[in-house]
Chain A
Amino acid sequence: MKSDTIHSEVPRRSAPPVRASAAGHLQAWLPKLVLAPSVVISLCFVYGFMLWTFILSLTDSRMLPSYDFVGFAQYARLMNNERWWVAATNLGIFGALFVGCCLVLGAGLAILLDQRIRREGVLRTLYLYPMALSFIVTGVVWKWLLNPGLGIQAMVRGWGFESFTFDWLVDPDMAVYTLVIAAVWQASGFVMALFLAGLRGIDDSILKAAQLDGASLPRVYWRVVMPCLRPVVFSAVMILSHIAIKSFDLVVALTGGGPGYSSDLPATFMYAHAFSRSQIGMGSASAILMLGGVLAILVPYLYSELRSRRHG
């Protein structure tokens, strides 16, 4: 009986190898076929255009691209351009404050939410909602809120505090800080979610052990928990800084780069020069410098992450 069944199975098994190998070929090629269009598209439209931008930044292109190479003259012009330095300084202020405030607020909210409070789900969603909005919407909302004649200033004055002034939006020295307020409002809930996920991954008994060791709650978090969250901090800094560097829509919606060009960021500078001021060459040069900025953050980050993973 046994040997019969074995015999009858052998030819049946050996019959479909042709089909099987065709299927095997298909199986081996299918992922490549499916991925090919996106690889081509990203090669062409991301890396291709990056390369084109770099080439344009070496030319004297103004309203239309030209291919008269002028070396690094556009970069030299950029370095002598006062407006570029305003934009770059603004990016420094905006980036540092935005990343810093988001981390502190996000971590704080996450720690408070992690105390097993009631209605945590509702609060978590509430804090996370701003992230669901586009920066344009955030910009418009805060434009109204910060408008001295319509928003917070008008409201507080309406309550009777006639001397109350909150006009950062129209103050050239302070306009960049309104960008920070709006961006922090939008992104800190997201950072909170990152930290909360990290906190939830920490073994409960570690907190208990630290308590028994005599550490107060702030010290438990500072000495024991936060060091465990280093990867989360890294990811948050990484995500936030590239949001900061490419910030464009928020500036356009909230301040329009103004008053004057006092709240310009490199992205708005680049757009203004490349597309409305017929300075494609200089705009490209500024775009390449921004790319350099992103890479300067990205490369060390990836390096340290990959290295720690290899060690871990």
Chain B
Amino acid sequence: MSALEIDNVCKDFGTTRVLEEVSLAIDSGEFLILVGPSGCGKSTLMNAIAGLEPVTSGRILVGGDDITWRTPAERDIAMVFQSYALYPSMTVHGNIAFGLEMRKVPRVEREAAVERVADLLQISHLLNRKPAQLSGGQRQRVAMGRALAREPQIYLFDEPLSNLDAKLRVEMRTEIKKLHQRLGTTIVYVTHDQIEAMTLADSIAVMRDGRILQLGSPDEVYNNPADMFVAGFMGSPSMNFIEARLDGEPGAYRLHIATDGEAELTLPWPASRETPALAEHVGRTLTLGLRPEHFAEEDARLGDRAEGTPLSARVSVVEPTGADILLRLPLGDTEITARVGPDCRVAPGERLGLRVDMRRAVLFDAETEARLA
């Protein structure tokens, strides 16, 4: 039995359909992240789970109970909002205890719960303050404390970190992950930040235009994307898409990349990554997807033992990030990004030998954007 099951949920606002037959299920203790660009329906789906937006059709089940038509109060769900939504007139203590008070939890238990979450989130010294006297990070903690105090079956997080500054966001991200590991809670988390999605999730649902394009573990979504949109959305810097013509026959497919004024570049497609779909696309132009880290600097010391397909290109921009260096290189019609080690000494305008790990490359139909191999 799943902790949360969403079964063919549709949602219309007037004549616009914002959720299109969304179905998913997560187990108890699982951390699900709904990720996608603005307007993809992820927040609507979350509001539907919370009961704040009635669905047009479909069912929502929590722990096997159909809660589709229950009010938010009747669902055992707590939510952390992007704006924190703390009650401005109440103290931190009042904010955390309010949900328990409304559910008629006896005073002694209530106090114990407040103490427990205050300890857990290290906000004990703030209990008598009003939200206006707190910093962004502290408000964030109180908002989480309010959710934790009630010990609901499911926690919903609606872009909880997007109002924090970059450093605090990373800290709170780790903290949320720790909390989840420690408490084993079931969490549905909405974000448009794919790094948050990758770092926190047990499973990620990538959404676009009201549909779930792919539901899988972060590893699956990242390395084995269902289509070009998922591939481009996950990962930063995002995946390079290069137009390439496919030819050859099963067992020996090759990709040809036309380059301006230089010899055509040919990359052999690894036999282990062949799919039957490729046969129909021989002679056509496809989109080759390569992540920046699929490139590596040619290492002369390795000589013939080096793995990957050799490739050389003229570097146009060098962007050191500290941990590594991002290189911009023209390849074919586009400019691609390659991530190389921090000790790569290359100046803009120079030619650099690279190795491409074709075993991790992905191929898409250039028109339908569907995954081919």
Contacts and interface: CB of A to CB of B under 8 A. Distances in A.
Interface of A: 203, 205-206, 208-216, 219, 223-224, 227-228, 230, 312
Contacts of A214: 73, 99, 102-103
Contacts of B77: 212
Contacts of A212: 50-52, 72-73, 75, 77-79, 99
The A interface is mostly helix, strand or loop, or mixed, namely helix
Interface in B86-106: 86-90, 98-99, 102-103
A206 B85 contact: yes
Contacts, number: 66
Contact of A312 (B81, B89, B102, B132): B132
Interface residues of B, number: 26
A205 B77 CA distance: 15
B84 to A, nearest CB: 8
B124 interface: no
Given A208-B52, A208-B72, A208-B79, A215 B85 contact: no
A298 to B, nearest CB: 25
B83 interface: yes
Nearest to A227: B89
B307 to A, nearest CB: 51
A205 B81 contact: yes
Contacts of B90: 227
- 3 interchain residue pairs of minimum CB distance: A227-B89, A213-B99, A205-B85
B50 A208 contact: yes
Interface string B58-88: 0000000000000111010111011101111
A215 B146 CA distance: 14
A211 B52 contact: yes
Given A205-B83, A212-B73, 7 more contacts: A203-B85, A212-B52, A212-B79, A213-B102, A223-B87, A223-B98, A227-B90
B83 A224 contact: no
26 contacts: A203-B85, A205-B82, A205-B83, A206-B85, A206-B86, A206-B88, A208-B72, A208-B79, A208-B81, A209-B79, A209-B86, A211-B52, A211-B73, A212-B51, A212-B52, A212-B78, A212-B79, A212-B99, A213-B98, A213-B150, A214-B73, A214-B99, A214-B103, A215-B73, A227-B88, A228-B88
B29 to A, nearest CB: 21
A224 B89 contact: yes
Contacts of A223: 87, 98
A137 B88 CA distance: 42
Contacts of A211: 52, 71-73
A219 B87 contact: no
A78 B79 CA distance: 64
